[in-house]
Amino acid sequence: MRTLADLARHLNFRGCRRPNNRPASPLALLTDHQRLADPLPVVARLPAGSLVIFRHYETPARAALARRLAKLCRSRRLHLVIATDFDLAVSLGSGLHLPEGLARHASPRIRLWHRRRGALMTAAAHGRPGLARAARQGVDALLLSPVFPTLSHPGKPSLGLLAFRRLVRLTRLDVYALGGISSATVTRLVGSGAAGIAAIGGLGGVRRPRA
């Protein structure tokens, strides 16, 4: 049975750009302290070039776990992005992820760091206003959600495939589809213009790549 990683590699996504124009895998993992308490085993199985967005907001030893994850990502050639904590991102030499609320008010310090260091910066958006704000901040990639109904936010309205396609066409940013991504829904994104897919629980079955 093919995993999401397998499906993502074979879908016709728009090429996602990275610093120095290096191509990357169209696959992103979001860590979560409840649904993925220990992200290290899953991260160890991700294909090289994948994006890892470290959240774990309520973990007491968040910085220590982030350091272990950074070491693993370097050895696996993965792109680590730290959510919300700019100082932690700088100390680890990683990228930074801005939830939609923070993307509205990215400080000049963050924008200067991003421009000078060329570090990867991503943001979250849930509709057209968030997408426009992220573009103004100059982020490299955007997580647009929820595309489909998701267990993370039961009962919350989803964008739907048509609205997602329209929003992707409005921006030059690389857009990852997030929300309700599974082997049953991912193939519906073919031709949507998405640069990749992002998931939490759906990536738990990723197989370790062959050496």
DSSP label at residue 19: G
| Beta-ladder partners of 196 | 176
CATH 3.40.50.720 fits 4-203, yes or no: no
Residue 156: other Cβ atoms inside 10 A: 12
Token duo for residue 36: 């993925």
Check: pTM over 0.75? Answer yes or no: yes
Strands (E) located in the chain: 27-30, 51-54, 79-83, 95-98, 121-125, 141-144, 174-178, 196-199
Full pLDDT tens readout for the chain, 211 residues = 567 777 776 665 555 444 444 445 789 999 999 888 999 999 999 989 899 999 999 899 999 999 999 999 999 999 999 999 999 999 999 999 999 887 766 788 888 888 888 889 999 999 999 999 999 888 999 999 999 998 777 778 899 999 999 999 999 899 999 999 988 898 899 888 888 899 986 665 455 444 3
For the chain, the domains span 4-203
